[in-house]
Amino acid sequence: MNRVFIEDTIVALATPPGIGAISVIRVSGSDCFVAAEKIFVGKIKLSRASSHTIHYGKIIDEDALVVDDVLISVFHNPNSFTGEDCVEISTHGNPIIIKKIIELLLKQNIRLAEPGEFTKRAFLNGRIDLTQAEAVADVINSHSEASLRGARNQLDGLLSKKINVLREQLINTSSFVELGLDFAEEDIEFIDNIELLKKINGIISEIDELLATYSFGRMIRDGVNVALVGKPNVGKSSILNYILKESRAIVSHIPGTTRDVIREEVLISGVLFRLFDTAGIRLSEDEIEKEGVFRSREAVRNADMVLFINDAEHGFSTELYSELEKLTKPKNIIAVMNKMDLVGEGYSVTGVAVSAKTGFGMKDLFVLMIKNALGGNNYSEKTPLVSNLRHYRCLIKSLECLKSALITAKKNLSGEYISVDLRAAAVSLGEIIGEVTTDDILNNVFSKFCIGK
């Protein structure tokens, strides 16, 4: 679906601002060759150069002074990232040079790019769909290997392909229903009610499957929020420090040491964990500690995973465990027994046995944390994952329409109602891949990008 894209030509620095070995200035649009040629002296005219070739030369200013020697990469439409004619100028990485070259380009028929505008053009020119455009931002912003793999999965179009298949099925089904309406008087049916119910149910369960990947997809993309909670003095802060390999939180033998929630990030096996060390939970008259304990409970509510820490001196607190079960899903709780160095063999343990002092059992704890984060799912690299709230919401909308279609079909009501719902369900799926868009959706998606992308 290559749409012809006649727009102004845009320029931006594509590499981070500041000093570096090289910087890359990106220019995209129909005037880019003419504009670059005006400031470039090289062996070849850029507009005549083949696509995907690189050319050495000098950038000169209005007084014919050399600004820098550069390499210019040439891309002819439609075979560029944006789908337009495009040049990328590699310069020495000095902000003064960059400023000068961009100024020289701006004096021609070129303007500064808006955030995400290169990617937006790639989308509008049909080079990528909307989920892939969003994945470009995710790839750039990934903080862990796992989130990078998730973004890669989306950029490769796994989600788009799945959505496209479902959307086509929906459109086909509603076409059959509509055909039936046209031939209602002849009493010809193109899809019988049983077949229709089967189709709708099939698509509902596929959407359910996609929705089920969301909590995993989101954790992989944004990191896993882990609350370290337990009674005072069990060694929560010691465990945090052990995991971080630094003395981040104050540790003392006095119960009630930690008051504020302490937040730190750590990568374990390529997954980002955001750890929240909290105040030990107990009844306290102390105003500050009371607030700390209040915040501990908040941390449990907001966590994807709870490390419920106990110590071998005092044993497992069933009463606090019951309280935690009310604050979060039990499957999110990992019971940990700390201070195992203080007890002999044969001590019966509820949970993972560890010692923050000696490091005993910590590897087992990490394995369990990873396992819990993956939620027992056997998702492979090829499983389409939903990790974006916008996609999640569109899927929910689509599901609601399908459920309404199902009710109508079960009541054997007129096909008109069914087809309206099926069409609406298809529109919601179309919104995910950008087949159906509004300016609001596009602005929302692309404003999150940086300039130059």
Residues that bind ligand GTP (CB under 6 A): 232-238, 251-253, 255-258, 279-280, 338-339, 341-342, 355-357
Q: By CB under 5 A, is residue 241 in contact with Mg ion?
A: no
Q: By CB under 5 A, is residue 238 in contact with Mg ion?
A: no
- The DSSP-derived string for 2-23 is -------EEEEE-SPSS-EEEE
CB of 385 to ligand GTP, least distance (A): 36
d(CA 24, CA 80) in angstroms, rounded, equals 16
Strand partners, 308: 229, 335
CB of 272 to ligand GTP, least distance (A): 23
Q: How many chain residues are in contact with Mg ion, going by CB under 5 A?
A: 4
d(CA 155, CA 61) in angstroms, rounded, equals 40
The pairing of strands 333-338 and 305-311 is parallel
Burial class (CB in 10 A: 0-12, 13-18, 19+), 132: buried
Side-by-side strand order, sheet with 333-338:
262-268, 271-277, 224-230, 305-311, 333-338, 352-353
- Judged by beta carbon, residue 124 or residue 228, the one nearer ligand GTP is 228
- Judged by beta carbon, residue 210 or residue 309, the one nearer Mg ion is 309
> Restricting to residues 67-106, which ones interact with Mg ion according to CB under 5 A?
none
CB of 325 to ligand GTP, least distance (A): 20
Nearest CA to 257 out of 230, 237, 242 is that of 237
- Judged by beta carbon, residue 140 or residue 342, the one nearer ligand GTP is 342
284 CB neighbour count, 10 Å cutoff: 17
- Judged by beta carbon, residue 279 or residue 306, the one nearer ligand GTP is 279
Pick the piece of the chain touching Mg ion (CB under 5 A) from 58-66, 90-98, 154-162, 235-243: 235-243
Residue 157: left if φ>0, alpha if ψ -120 to 50, beta else—which one? left
- Judged by beta carbon, residue 206 or residue 298, the one nearer ligand GTP is 298
Q: By CB under 5 A, is residue 296 in contact with Mg ion?
A: no
Helix 32-39 / helix 95-106 crossing angle, nearest 10 deg? 120
Helix (H, G, I), strand (E, B) or coil at 109: coil
d(CA 410, CA 331) in angstroms, rounded, equals 36
> Out of ligand GTP, Mg ion, none, which partner does residue 234 contact, by CB within 5 to 8 A per kind?
ligand GTP
Write each residue from 177 to 216 as x if it is in contact with Mg ion (CB under 5 A), else as -, in one continuous string: ----------------------------------------
Q: By CB under 5 A, is residue 233 in contact with Mg ion?
A: no
CB of 293 to ligand GTP, least distance (A): 10
Phi then psi for residue 143, to 5 deg, are: -105, -5
Pick the piece of the chain touching Mg ion (CB under 5 A) from 44-52, 104-112, 254-262, 335-343: 254-262
- Judged by beta carbon, residue 18 or residue 359, the one nearer ligand GTP is 359
CB of 334 to ligand GTP, least distance (A): 16
- From 91, 169, 213, 258, residue interacting with Mg ion (rule: CB under 5 A): 258
CB of 313 to ligand GTP, least distance (A): 8
Give whole-number Cα distances, 32 to 104, 105, 106, 363, in Å: 13, 9, 11, 55
User: Which residues would be at the binding site for Mg ion (CB under 5 A)?
Assistant: 236-237, 257-258
